[in-house]
């Protein structure tokens, strides 16, 4: 059954929702599913903006056949060549062989690399600022390198004000009938999945996201709708969501609060982490989240690290090293360029306790602009009453330093 929605009078969502894939990029869990958004403009020419993942190809083709009503597809604009959007290109090229493909030079190069039969197709290479008319609608192309791949661009429809924003402004959610963010309680139900998507997929490239936001700011009055390649479209409160992007891409915390991540083998390090959370709450610091590194997928930890201003890492010593899953989390932070956070450490071990020293060294050597609190809790096997003063001291230091951090962008 075809499944489309009207974005404007003559632009239609014709993508697909995916609840079958469990791991996005074969890494990130997507419990709310994911949508692959493609959009069709019906003007004097018919124009498809991006395609969908291979798993969703049949749905998109059915949608296109319904919308085109026998008309040929004249153009395919490829904003982003990653296969979750471009894998179905070849089917489109085979079905409408007169289609002209518009993309950046690198986009067309990547299309060849992925094995699409581009030699049989008329290709139009576009660059920053180029304009193209499809009849009533004129679009302009804006390069967006490293948001999320180097070939990426976004397309602004100057006639309708729709910004086809590629990966930017997406989320790990299936739309399930909805199209616009104002049809749901986005902040309550979907913001976490928008943050988890952005920070894990493009977190490393904050500067590139900032460059794109800078270009968007110059034409912000022309943008009426943001239409990303995943998740919901934005026609209201654009600046609210742009502000979130500013926080994430500038590595500024969204909230003053504390994320406590613990690595515990027998519950003793966990118990100390919980005692710290309690002491923080007793001091009025209730924006505290506690996560077990062993049963929380690292993509959630990364997302919360981008959200909160403070991070406490509490790890048992394991083979004279940091607990492996805690080390993985630290390494993921390094790869995703996490910076500008206040960090504290708790360590545990029955002999040769090393994890605190090693975590501190890792943060000092690999993460930028981190503030490390001097107060550190060392536990020998289990935290008894003798450790209460140390945990209390750490809670006080965190509470005091919360007043010194800024969430302004």
Rule CB under 6 A: which residues touch ligand FEO? 80, 82, 84-85, 148-149, 167, 229-230
> Measured between alpha carbons, how far is 248 from 238 in angstroms, rounded to an integer?
16
- Burial-class residue 207 by CB neighbours within 10 Å (0-12, 13-18, 19+): exposed
Name the residue nearer to ligand FEO (CB basis): 38 or 263: 38
Name the residue nearer to ligand FEO (CB basis): 147 or 377: 147
Closest contact distance (angstroms) between CB of 229 and ligand FEO is 5
> Measured between alpha carbons, how far is 330 from 324 in angstroms, rounded to an integer?
10
By three-state DSSP, how is residue 259 classified?
A: strand
Q: How many CB atoms lie within 10 A of CB 364?
A: 11
Name the residue nearer to ligand FEO (CB basis): 84 or 390: 84
Q: Which residues of 38-62 are buried (b: 16+ CB within 10 A; e: fewer)?
A: bbbbbbebbbbbbbbbbebbebbbb
Closest contact distance (angstroms) between CB of 36 and ligand FEO is 8
Closest contact distance (angstroms) between CB of 10 and ligand FEO is 25
Name the residue nearer to ligand FEO (CB basis): 80 or 307: 80
Closest contact distance (angstroms) between CB of 125 and ligand FEO is 20
| Spacing of C-alpha 30 from chain mean position | 12
Name the residue nearer to ligand FEO (CB basis): 80 or 310: 80
Closest contact distance (angstroms) between CB of 319 and ligand FEO is 37
Q: Are strands 371-380 and 225-227 parallel, antiparallel or unpaired?
A: unpaired
The one-character DSSP state at 55 is G
Name the residue nearer to ligand FEO (CB basis): 23 or 220: 23
Closest contact distance (angstroms) between CB of 153 and ligand FEO is 12
């Amino acid at each position: 059954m075809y499944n489309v929605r009207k974005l404007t009078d003559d632009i239609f969502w014709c993508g697909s929702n995916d609840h079958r894939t469990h791991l996005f990029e074969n890494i990130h869990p997507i419990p709310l599913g994911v949508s692959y958004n493609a959009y069709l403009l019906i003007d004097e020419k018919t124009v498809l903006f991006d395609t969908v993942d291979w798993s969703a190809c049949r749905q998109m083709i059915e949608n296109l056949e319904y919308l085109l009503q026998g008309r040929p597809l004249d153009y395919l604009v490829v904003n982003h060549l990653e296969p979750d959007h471009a894998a179905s290109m070849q089917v489109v090229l085979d079905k409408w062989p007169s289609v002209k493909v518009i993309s950046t030079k690198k986009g067309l190069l990547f299309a060849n690399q992925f094995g699409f039969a581009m030699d049989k197709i008329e290709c139009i290479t576009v660059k920053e600022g180029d304009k193209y008319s499809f009849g009533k609608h004129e679009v302009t192309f804006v390069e967006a390198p490293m948001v999320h791949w180097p070939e990426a661009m976004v397309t602004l429809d100057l006639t309708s004000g729709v910004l086809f924003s590629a990966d930017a402004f997406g989320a790990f959610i299936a739309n399930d009938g909805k199209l616009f963010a104002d049809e749901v309680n986005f902040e309550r139900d979907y913001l976490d999945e928008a943050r988890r998507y952005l920070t894990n997929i493009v977190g490393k490239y904050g500067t590139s996201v900032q460059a794109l936001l800078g270009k968007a700011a110059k034409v912000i009055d022309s943008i009426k709708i943001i239409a990303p390649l995943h998740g919901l479209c934005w026609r209201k409160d654009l600046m609210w969501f742009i502000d979130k992007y500013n926080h994430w891409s500038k590595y500024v915390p969204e909230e003053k609060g504390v994320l406590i991540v613990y690595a515990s083998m027998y519950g003793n390090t966990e118990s100390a982490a919980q005692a710290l959370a309690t002491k923080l709450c007793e001091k009025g610091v209730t924006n505290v989240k506690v996560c077990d590194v062993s049963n929380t997928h690292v993509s959630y930890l990364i997302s919360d690290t981008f959200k909160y201003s403070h991070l406490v890492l509490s790890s048992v010593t394991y083979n004279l090293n940091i607990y492996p899953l805690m080390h993985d989390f630290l390494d993921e932070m390094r790869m995703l360029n996490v910076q500008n956070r206040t960090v504290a450490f708790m360590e545990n071990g029955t002999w040769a306790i090393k994890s605190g020293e090693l975590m501190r060294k890792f943060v000092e050597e690999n993460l930028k602009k981190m503030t490390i609190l001097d107060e550190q809790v060392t536990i020998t096997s289990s935290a008894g009453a003798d450790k209460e003063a140390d945990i209390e001291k750490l809670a006080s230091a965190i509470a005091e330093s919360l007043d010194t951090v800024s969430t302004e962008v």
